[in-house]
């Protein structure tokens, strides 16, 4: 039997989720909580197998308490339940330690499937969200391959190519000279350049010296 703690700040949502979970004989809702503080207390007391956790709550974000919940209950799995369909939230949830992410608008059967999946040691992501997450990560990798420099390094590169010294760059960007020198070293290393002439050529090829 999979024991589930339901955490959501709306009583009607908790009641609906309880009915959904009770439709599967292998799942037992053992408790409820309406805010982050109560969620931590109930998890500590009940030791559930799965915590069905809302993201948006009045006192604290559900994502913020995941580390605390897992620290106190290392064998418990966290299944995030959210209205947020942005892939960034999915990434943040998994980085915090969640095992699954399901949308509130999901079909009843999908919520049950998600609970069973994470309870069994697997990971679950809403199918549509999963596809969008993969696409977003692919786009990020492509951008990194096309331009390996950070935004700050791009600024330093442009100023270097315009002929500014490390001291002048430091003054313009409100950073220390040592930091400017470090950025310059990282830029040369990342782009595999060995001279200012190569650096200027790279900046020109990328159009970094235009419209400034």
- Give the pLDDT confidence of 125-145 residue by residue, as tens digits: 877 776 666 666 666 666 656
| Whether 60 contacts 99, CB under 8 Å | no
The parent domain of residue 188 ranges over: 147-205
User: Total domain count for the chain?
Assistant: 2
pLDDT band at 106 (very low <50, low <70, confident <90, very high): confident
Report H helices in 28-124. Answer: 36-46, 62-72, 87-96, 108-119
Within 10 Å of residue 199's Cβ, how many Cβ atoms?
18
pLDDT of residue 55: 87
Same domain membership, residue 191 and residue 164: yes
Q: Is 110 exposed, middle or buried (0-12, 13-18, 19+ CB in 10 A)?
A: middle
The per-residue pLDDT for 114 is 95
Q: Are residues 50 and 71 in the same domain?
A: yes
- Which of 80, 110, 138 represents a domain boundary (last residue)? 138
pLDDT higher than 90, residue 100: yes
Name the nearest CA neighbour of 13 among 118, 119, 105.
105
Same structural domain for residues 193 and 99? no
Q: What pLDDT is recorded for position 211?
A: 56
Cα-to-chain-centroid distance, residue 136: 12
| Residue that is written with structure tokens 């299944």 in the block | 79
Same domain, 183 and 133: no
Q: Which two tokens stand for residue 189?
A: 């290393």
Per-residue confidence band for 164, with pLDDT thresholds at 50, 70 and 90: very high
Tell me, what CATH number does 162's domain have? 1.10.10.10
Do 21 and 113 lie in one domain? The reply is yes
Answer yes or no: do 73 and 157 share one domain. no
Look at residue 124 and give its three-state secondary structure: strand
Residue in the block written with tokens 């006192």: 59
Lowest-confidence region among 78-92, 138-152, 166-180, 186-200? 138-152
Q: Is the per-residue pLDDT at 212 higher than 60? A: no
Task: Compute the residue count for the chain.
Answer: 212
pLDDT value at residue 136: 63
Q: Are residues 6 and 92 in the same domain?
A: yes
Shared-domain flag, residues 73 and 111 = yes
123 and 151 together in one domain: no
Parallel, antiparallel, or unpaired: how do β-strands 2-7 and 50-54 relate?
Answer: parallel
């Amino acid at each position: 039997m999979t024991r589930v703690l339901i955490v959501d700040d709306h009583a009607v949502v908790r009641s609906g989720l309880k009915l959904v979970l009770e439709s599967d004989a292998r799942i037992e809702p053992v408790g409820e909580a309406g805010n982050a503080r109560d969620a931590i207390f109930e998890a500590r007391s009940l030791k559930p197998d799965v915590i069905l956790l809302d993201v948006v709550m009045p006192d604290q974000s559900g994502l913020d308490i995941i580390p605390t919940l897992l620290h106190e209950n290392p064998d418990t799995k966290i299944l995030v339940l959210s209205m947020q369909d942005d892939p960034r939230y999915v990434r943040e949830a998994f980085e915090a330690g969640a095992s699954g992410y399901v949308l509130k608008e999901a079909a009843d059967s999908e919520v049950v499937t998600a609970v069973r999946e994470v309870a069994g040691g697997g990971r679950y992501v809403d199918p549509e969200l999963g596809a969008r997450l993969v696409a977003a990560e692919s786009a990020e990798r492509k951008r990194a391959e096309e331009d390996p420099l950070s935004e700050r390094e791009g600024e330093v590169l442009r100023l270097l190519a315009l002929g500014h010294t490390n001291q002048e760059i430091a003054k313009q960007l409100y950073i220390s000279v040592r930091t400017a020198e470090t950025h310059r070293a990282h830029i040369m290393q990342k782009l595999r350049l060995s001279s200012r002439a190569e650096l200027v050529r790279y900046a020109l090829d990328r159009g970094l010296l235009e419209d400034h």
